[in-house]
Amino acid sequence: MNSSMPSFRAPSAGERVFNRIFGFVVGLGLGFSHNYLLQVRGRKSGKIYSTPIDLLELGGKRFLVAPRGRTQWVRNAEAAGEVTLKKGSKRQQLRLRALSDQEKPEILKAYLDQFKREVQRYFPVPAESPVETFRELVQSYPAFELTPT
């Protein structure tokens, strides 16, 4: 299953427009409790880049999943080792810990189950699939635990 999945699924023009508008709205402090504006410093330019994300909270921990694969924000976040979550005037700087392949299936399942409407199109398995189904997908989806700096 992994071999046929691209390492990055680029957004369409419509999705790019939606993300910019939604990112602006979330940046103002609106949206659901799980919506944040992810800010990360560019690994080459040093410029701050922003993208809206759905933050998974599970078992008292916070997780960040990249449903599109190894996007630029993932590469920048890995290089920086930290990200900032912004919602309105509040900002939280957080460290990243990349999840191991053994940890990912449970997190990917919970992420897809919780945010099915937003991310189902990026997963080759349906929401509510058994956790074992996600073991084949771990290489295609970067996932991180966020901890305070």
Residue of 98 and 15 predicted with greater confidence: 98
pLDDT digits (tens, 9 = 90+) for 19-66: 888 888 898 898 999 999 999 999 999 999 999 999 999 999 999 999
Report the C-alpha gap between 77 and 135 in whole angstroms. Answer: 24
Pick the CATH number of 33-148 from 1.20.1290.10, 3.40.50.300, 2.60.40.3880, 2.30.110.10: 2.30.110.10
Residue 137 has pLDDT above 70, yes or no: yes
pLDDT digits (tens, 9 = 90+) for 56-79: 999 999 999 999 999 999 999 999
The whole-model pTM stands at 0.89
What residue ranges do the domains of the chain occupy? 33-148
Note the pLDDT of residue 3: 41
Q: How confident is the model at residue 5 (pLDDT cuts 50, 70, 90)?
A: low
Note the pLDDT of residue 116: 98
